Amino acid sequence: MQCFFCGADVGDSHVCYNCGADILLYKQIIYTSFVFYNQGLEKARVSDLSGAIDALKTALQYYKYNTRARNLLGLCYYQVGELVLALNEWVLSKNLQENNPDADRYLADIENTPGLLSKTNSIIKKYNQAIEYCKSGSKDLAKIQLKKVINQNGNFVKAQQLLALLYIDEKKYFDARKVLSQAASIDANNTLTIKYIHEVKAALKDKNTGRRKKKNDTVSFADGNDTVIMSEKSFRSMLDNTRASFVNILLGIIVGLLICFFLVVPTVKDNMKDGNTDTILALNEALAESNSKNEGLQSEIDELKESLSAYDDKQDVETSYDNLFAAQNYYSTGDNEAASEYIQLVTKDVLGEQGQQAYDNLYSLLSPTILQGYYDDGNSFYGEENYESAIINFKTVVDTDESYDSGAALFLLGDCYRLTDQTDLALECFNKVVELFPNNKWGRQAKVYIAADDTELDAKVVGE
């Protein structure tokens, strides 16, 4: 080790043999400085920032080159909202020790945060302004400024303490307690904060005790327009009487309910049962009556239906003869289509023997025209993709003549079945077509369908 005074090498000796400087004392000073630094560090770790600040200041009074202590002091100032003091410490630290990465980092952080210094300055100015307002007696203005300061920097302990002091002065102890709790959460062991907290607690305790005492003395309540004030004892005895009355009423209600349950309810139930039985009997009678009436009405309806059908037959005889004669007339004039329409309106069964013979003769003559009509209608419906109606028409044709139009009617009937997903019926028709006309176009196409079992081909393909 070198002598702090002359720079001579002193080794482990307590005195410098060159200049006589007290090396032991020097070592003790530096050691003490680091002891205070350790204390400061411990206190800072448990949020006792004011204690840490005191210890670190002492450490620096012993040995100003204790850079760690100075950097930590800056951090503590920063934490309690004193940014300018923090900056001062870090700048000094950097000046006293060139190679100082911690101070470099802190200063760089502040420089790299845009607007931090101007914001800090504005906060400090507001705080200073608040102190001025307090001194001039404008406490409301001071409170407004301090609230702004705390909003902008929630760690500014001094501002919180001053605001708490103002609240205490106005006897707003709850507000003061709230602000002081916030301050204590930042700097746990600050003497001033603790002092104010004690003051607030004591004041709140007095307040509560006062209230209780008042409560214990008298009781007051409104009785109509009057306010009744009585001692607590009298009030209690009155309450006891009221309680007894209340219990009596409650017992009365319970007894009433029990009587109702055991005596009244069974009677009511019996009455209801009797009433229900009567109702059921009456309903049964009404039902039987209705049934007999219904039977009578049904027989009446049947009679009426019979007479109506007789009347219809009578009417149909006349119409049928008219239609038969009209068909005969049109046939004789060569209008086979009109004749075929009229003959289809004739009911053969209502005609006499001669009439039926005439009908059969004429019908056999008009049969080709009638079938042609059904076939044409079937084709029209087929073209309109109305396959259900087409089936009715083609079926009428096929029922009369399976080989109509060289099997075209039968094939188209099959095709209509195919298109309406009635595959079995479709295949039945196609097989018949192949059986009757194996070599014409309908037969060939039917073979294609049967061979491929492809009943989903397009109708147009079939036509082609």
The C-alpha torsion from 231 through 235 and 237 to 243, rounded to 10°, is -170
Q: With CB under 8 A, what is the number of residues at the site for other proteins?
A: 43
Q: 87-126: which residues touch other proteins (CB under 8 A)?
A: 87-88, 91-92, 117, 120-121, 124-125
Helix (H) or strand (E) holding 229: strand 226-231
Supply the angle between the helices 23-45 and 49-62 in degrees, to the nearest 10.
170
Least separation in angstroms between residue 213's CB and other proteins is 21
Is residue 35 involved in binding other proteins (CB under 8 A)? no
Is residue 25 involved in binding other proteins (CB under 8 A)? yes
Is residue 457 involved in binding other proteins (CB under 8 A)? no
Comparing CB distances to other proteins, the nearer of 61 and 386 is 61
Comparing CB distances to other proteins, the nearer of 131 and 219 is 131
Is residue 317 involved in binding other proteins (CB under 8 A)? no
Q: 65-84: which residues touch other proteins (CB under 8 A)?
A: 65, 82, 84
Q: 392-421: which residues touch other proteins (CB under 8 A)?
A: none
Q: Which residue's structure tokens are 């005889």?
A: 317
| Residue 28 in tokens | 């003790």
CB 209 within 8 A of CB 203: no
Q: 243-262: which residues touch other proteins (CB under 8 A)?
A: none
Comparing CB distances to other proteins, the nearer of 61 and 216 is 61
Piece of the chain touching other proteins by CB under 8 A; list 56-64, 272-280, 305-313, 421-429 = 56-64
Is residue 61 involved in binding other proteins (CB under 8 A)? yes
Q: Residue 172: which of 137, 207, 218, 147 has the closest Cα?
A: 207
Q: How far, rounded to the nearest angstrom, does the alpha carbon of residue 120 sit from its chain's CA centroid?
A: 46
Is residue 131 involved in binding other proteins (CB under 8 A)? yes
Comparing CB distances to other proteins, the nearer of 192 and 338 is 192
Is residue 315 involved in binding other proteins (CB under 8 A)? no
Q: Give the residue, chosen from 196, 330, 381, 404, that forms a contact with other proteins under the rule CB under 8 A.
A: 196
Q: Residue 196: which of 224, 170, 167 has the closest Cα?
A: 167
Is residue 29 involved in binding other proteins (CB under 8 A)? yes
Comparing CB distances to other proteins, the nearer of 30 and 204 is 30
Least separation in angstroms between residue 45's CB and other proteins is 25
Is residue 141 involved in binding other proteins (CB under 8 A)? no
Is residue 13 involved in binding other proteins (CB under 8 A)? no
Is residue 30 involved in binding other proteins (CB under 8 A)? yes
Is residue 144 involved in binding other proteins (CB under 8 A)? no
DSSP per-residue letters across 319-374: HHHHHHHHHHHHHHTT-HHHHHHHHTT--GGGS-HHHHHHHHHHHHHHHHHHHHHH
Rounded to whole angstroms, the Cα distance separating 109 from 75 reads 12
CB 440 within 8 A of CB 406: yes
Q: How many Cβ atoms from other residues are within 10 Å of residue 370's Cβ?
A: 20
Q: Which residue's structure tokens are 């005895």?
A: 237
CB 423 within 8 A of CB 442: no
Q: Give the residue, chosen from 135, 214, 233, 460, that forms a contact with other proteins under the rule CB under 8 A.
A: 135
Least separation in angstroms between residue 225's CB and other proteins is 43
Rounded to whole angstroms, the Cα distance separating 192 from 183 reads 10
Is residue 165 involved in binding other proteins (CB under 8 A)? yes
Comparing CB distances to other proteins, the nearer of 1 and 29 is 29
| Residue 461 in tokens | 């393909």
Comparing CB distances to other proteins, the nearer of 35 and 117 is 117
| Residue 50 in tokens | 């004011």
β-strand pairing of 218-223 with 226-231: antiparallel
Across 18-28, b (16+ Cβ under 10 Å) vs e yields: eeebebeebee
Q: Give the residue, chosen from 141, 192, 194, 317, that forms a contact with other proteins under the rule CB under 8 A.
A: 192
Is residue 325 involved in binding other proteins (CB under 8 A)? no
> What are the residues binding other proteins (CB under 8 A)?
4-5, 19-22, 25-26, 29-30, 60-65, 82, 84-85, 87-88, 91-92, 117, 120-121, 124-125, 127-128, 131, 134-135, 158, 161-162, 165, 168-169, 192, 195-196, 199
